[in-house]
Structure 1
C-alpha cells in the first residue's frame, strides 16, 4: 500500500475511529439508551454525540492548522475538551 502514503499517524487515526465505532456498537447492544435532549434542543443518542464530536473536532483541528502557528497538540487538547462538553451537555 505504498501508493496510499500511509503513515503511523494516519493509521492511528483510522484505528481510533474503528475502535470507537466498535465500542459504541457494543455499548448500544449491551446498554440501549433512549434519546435525550440537551442544550441544542434536539434528541441525541450516543452515536449522534460521537458524530457531532468527530465533526467538530475535524473543524477545530483544521482551524488550528490554518489560524495558529502553535503545536497541533493544543488543537487536539481543545478537541478533547470539545468532546467532553458534547457528551456532557448535548
Structure 2
C-alpha cells in the first residue's frame, strides 16, 4: 500500500467518513425520518443533507486552497458553519 501514500491525516479522514455513514445508518434505522422541504424547494432527508454537506465542504476546501493557501484549519471552521446551515435550513 506504499503506492497509495497513506498518511495519518488521510486515514483519519476516511475513518471519520466511514463512522459518519455508520452513525447515519443507525439513526435511519432507529429514528426513521420523513423528508422535509427546505430552502432549496426540494424534499431532503438526513442522508441527502449529509451528501450536500460533504460535497459543499469539498468545494469549500478546494476554493480555500486556491484563494487563501495552506491554512486549512480555518477552512474547517467554514465547513462546520456550512454544515450547521445545511442541516438547519436545507
TM-score band, normalised by shorter chain: over 0.9
**Counterpart-to-counterpart distance in 2, 1:37 and 1:71:** 35
**Counterpart-to-counterpart distance in 2, 1:60 and 1:44:** 21
Once superposed, which parts of structure 1, at least 4 consecutive aligned residues long, lie more than 4 Å away? Answer: none
CA RMSD of aligned residues (A): 0.8
Q: Deviations over 1:26-80 (max 9, x none)?
A: 0000000000000111100000000000000000000000001361111111000
Normalised by the length of structure 2, the TM-score is 0.97
Normalised by the length of structure 1, the TM-score is 0.97
Partner residue in 1 for 2:47:
47
For structure 1, the 5+ residue unaligned runs are none
Partner residue in 2 for 1:73:
73
Partner residue in 1 for 2:30:
30
Question: How many residue pairs are counted as aligned between the two chains?
Answer: 90
Residue 59 (structure 1) aligned with residue 59 (structure 2): yes
Partner residue in 2 for 1:16:
16
For structure 2, the 5+ residue unaligned runs are none
